[in-house]
Amino acid sequence: MPITNLQNSNDFEGQKFYVGLDVHKKSWSVTVRSLQRQVTHFTQPPCAETLARTLKKRFPGGIFYSAYEAGFCGTVAHEQLCKHGITNIIVNPGDVPSTDKQKKTKTDVHDSRLIAENLEKNNLRAIHIFTHEQQQLRSLCRLRECKVKERVRANNRLKGFLVYYGIQVPETISKKEFISQKVLTWLQDLELSCSAGNLALQEIIAELKHQRQQEYRVTKMLRQQVEATHGEEYKRLLTVPGIGPVTAMAMLAETGGLSRFDDPDEYASYLGLMPWDESSGDTIKTKGIQPRCNKHLRPLLIEAAWVSVRKSTELHAYYSKHAAKNNKHAIIKVAKKLAMIARGCVLKKEDYQAGYVPKKQEAKSEKVFQAYTEQHI
């Protein structure tokens, strides 16, 4: 690729420079382009101030645009770059256009060069940047998700221990597989044949109790924070059948508020509830839902859809309509409809109403009825 110094003078007043960054913990790989040419490439420490100072020194008077892929470093680098006068965007790695050859030749130099090229061509779309408050609320929500996984792991560890040693819980205490507080109290008084087994059992029980307390504490803190920042929206979501406190909190924490999405299709695509099709000529292949989604939110919405089918006659009828072909596909349709209902309640600032008919649809039905009566009466 041609590399040029652009011009011999040191005056770059008003000239645009496009900077592609491949961001790592210990270094940044930087490629600079201008006037359809690569100007320079260098590696530097991970510091926005150093980059801004270098660019302004080598290209005084220039206007700088930069981009890097979303990853582990969050938005700190983005904020620092903007602070030092560089217009920066963060892009999804899957949205950076690349050829088959570029995908097979992947290095820091190639990645930064590819970002700079597409930035200059205006082929990159910036992702939505949350505020600090919303990012920290999302982190608290994902911490709760981690606590749930740790509690399930501790619960399964205890179940496995009981099965391994053939310990049967009396039916008078619990008839279900759920390990209740009564079962834990009974297990604490249980004596095995060896002291080592008793110590192992007591430690597993203590770990399960600790994880349950941690999950409860984090859930309580998350609910308080959501009520403080999205109190009205949170109450609206709880009126929708199938959506409980956990799902409502996750929807608000992960999306930053449902009013953020202007387009319903964009909202459904973010949730990963849109179909994934491939067509060529007369051949159309449907591969199910999109693999790209918010992995923290979509499972909760699908679980909520199963609950809504039992609680709402309308959603149950909608599910039954599509379940004859494939019940798994049908529940995804219900989850999408449920998400749209939740969005409608938040945007219109109204609680969920069973049998609600939009005004446009109601007016249309009235016109159809009047036309029918004029023809037949």
3-state secondary structure at position 86:
coil
pLDDT score at 117: 96
Residue 129 phi, psi (nearest 5): -105, 120
pLDDT at res. 368: 43
Q: What integer pLDDT is reported at residue 281 of this predicted model? A: 75
Structure confidence at residue 365 (pLDDT): 47
pLDDT tens, residue by residue, 153-176? 999 999 999 999 999 988 888 777
- Predicted confidence at residue 84, as pLDDT, reads 96
Structure-block tokens of residue 50: 């150093």
pLDDT value of position 349: 92
- Residue 335 is predicted with a pLDDT of 95
pTM for the model stands at 0.86
Give the E-state strand segments of the chain in sequence order.
Answer: 16-23, 28-34, 37-44, 63-69, 87-91, 275-280, 283-289
Question: Which residue stretches of the chain have pLDDT < 70?
Answer: 1-10, 356-377
**Domains of the chain with CATH codes:** 16-120 (3.30.420.140), 132-232 (no CATH), 245-278+289-360 (no CATH)
Distance separating alpha carbons of residues 127 and 9, to the nearest angstrom: 37
What's CA 275's distance to the chain center, in Å?
18
**pLDDT computed for residue 9 by the predictor:** 55
Q: Looking at residue 6, what is its pLDDT?
A: 53
Looking up tokens 């249980």 gives 190
CA 253 to chain CA centroid, nearest Å: 10
CB 183 within 8 A of CB 169: yes
State the Cα–Cα distance between residues 136 and 216, nearest whole angstrom.
19
352 — phi, psi (to 5°)? -65, 135
